Amino acid sequence: MSETKDEVWKKLEAFAREELGKPIFGQLRIEPNSKLEDELGLTGTDAVDFIDKWAERFGVAAEGFPYDRYFGPEGLDLIGAVASLFSKRDRKAAAQPLTLGMLADAMRAGRWDTAAIEATARSD
């Protein structure tokens, strides 16, 4: 990892710890492959707020960021869950994983480019 990448990662790691706070139990795992929704628990408006603050803090051009691609709604959608049992039409596609490493890549590029960042993430 080059020094530039180390500096980017250190800044992102500090930001994530600041925004996510300290968990009640155990340690918060902040690594490049940490998934924002599945492992760090970011969903719904909390996820939108996190991404918006991240983009602003680090000057990342993230207009049109595809929040719905990476994050589900907050809470449990009981009606949607029951409906999806009976109808394929009501089933939502699983959210794509968004990792801290992907956010670091966007910081290095200075902008969010879904196709390029996901291609890089798949090749890692």
Q: Is 6 helix (H, G, I), strand (E, B) or coil?
A: helix
Going residue by residue through the chain, which has 124 residues, state the pLDDT in tens, using 9 for 90 and above.
444 558 999 999 999 999 998 776 777 889 999 999 999 989 999 999 999 999 999 999 999 999 999 998 765 454 554 555 565 554 455 568 999 999 999 999 999 999 999 999 888 7
Pick from 35, 107, 102: nearest CA to 71: 35
Tokens of 75: 């809470």
- What's the pLDDT at 35? 95
The three-class DSSP label of residue 112 is coil
Domain extent listing, the chain: 3-123
For residue 85, what pLDDT is reported? 54
pTM (2 decimals)? 0.79
